[in-house]
Amino acid sequence: MTSARATPADAAAELVAVQFALARRGLGLAQAALAGAGRVESLRHYPRGDVIDADNRSQFYYHLHGSSRCPAAEHGHFHLFTRRPDGRFSHLAGLSLDDRGWPLRWFTTNRWVTGETWQWAPALSADIDRFAPRTTGRLAPVARWLGAMVWIHRRGLKALLRRRDAVVARHLLRRDADDFFEDRRHDVLTEQRIDLADTLSRLAGTPPPTPGDN
């Protein structure tokens, strides 16, 4: 459903519908992303081999690992990509979740983190708009939810990528590009906190709840 023709309200409705459907099964997005894995291993991709939708040039996986740059409440995070017909992929954003599956932040990463083909923000703008992965099985609702999340936040994600580019440009004034892009001291380059309740309230045209509301 989420596409260039969808409205933000359509995307919000799809996002909420997925979350409610999972909640009725006792699942949050973090648990759903693991697709019933009996054993959770640090850094392993869930699913193994990633979800790749060649028709929509969209790819994603979920994983968990410790890092001083991760929010204390983080359970794990998605990595979202655009995938070219020749198999090359470029990172669009990471999306952190807490253990209830509630989104915490968007973030961008240095090239070495995912082994991507680096693309500057202007080249990724249309890919942000296009990101709408589809798959079958247990991860189908997760794919729809991610597509809706990206569509709702697409302007902010494009701004986050432009900020990423500015960070990289400052480093490249004094460093070789390959030296910086492979520097393990630089992993997360930019990040943006997510307040999903506020975003959904704005899209619905209703004020978000305030402390003391029943």
**Predicted pLDDT of residue 213:** 43
Nearest to 133 by CA among 214, 25, 40, 18: 18
Q: Classify residue 73: in a domain, yes or no.
A: yes
Residue 211 has pLDDT above 80, yes or no: no
For the chain, what is the domain count? 1
Amino acid 170: pLDDT: 98
CA 196 to chain centre: 13
In a domain, 57, yes or no: yes
Residue 3: inside a domain: no
pLDDT at 214 over 50: no
Is 128 a domain residue? yes
% pLDDT > 70, the chain: 90
Residue 168 has pLDDT above 80, yes or no: yes
pLDDT at position 38: 74
**What's the whole-number mean pLDDT along residues 153-162?**
98
Q: Tell me, yes or no, whether 212 lies in a domain.
A: no
Evaluate whether residue 183 is within a structural domain: yes
For position 207, what pLDDT does the model report? 54
Structural domain span for residue 87 = 12-204
Q: Is residue 211 in some structural domain?
A: no
Please tell me the predicted confidence (pLDDT) of residue 36: 79
- Distance of alpha carbon 199 from the chain centroid: 16
pLDDT above 50 for 167 = yes
**CB within 8 Å of 128: residues ≥ 6 apart:** 92, 150, 154, 157, 158, 161
Query: How many residues are listed for the chain in this entry?
Result: 214
| pLDDT (mean) for 18-28 | 94
Average pLDDT for 70-87 = 89
Sheet holding 46-53, edge to edge: 46-53, 58-63, 74-83, 89-98, 103-109, 188-193
Average pLDDT, the chain: 90
Query: Pairing between strand 188-193 and 103-109?
Result: antiparallel
Instruction: Say which residues have a Cβ less than 8 Å from residue 170's Cβ, sequence separation at least 6.
Output: none
Lowest-confidence pick of 34-38, 51-55, 99-103, 165-169:
34-38
The three-point CA angle 79-83-86 to 5° equals: 145
Q: In this structure, is residue 5 part of a structural domain? A: no
Any bridge partners for residue 190, and if so which? 108
Q: What is the DSSP-derived secondary structure letter of residue 73?
A: T
Tell me the pLDDT tens digit for each residue of 36-78.
Answer: 777 788 889 999 999 999 999 999 999 997 666 666 678 999 9
Give the pLDDT confidence score for residue 120 in this predicted structure.
Answer: 98
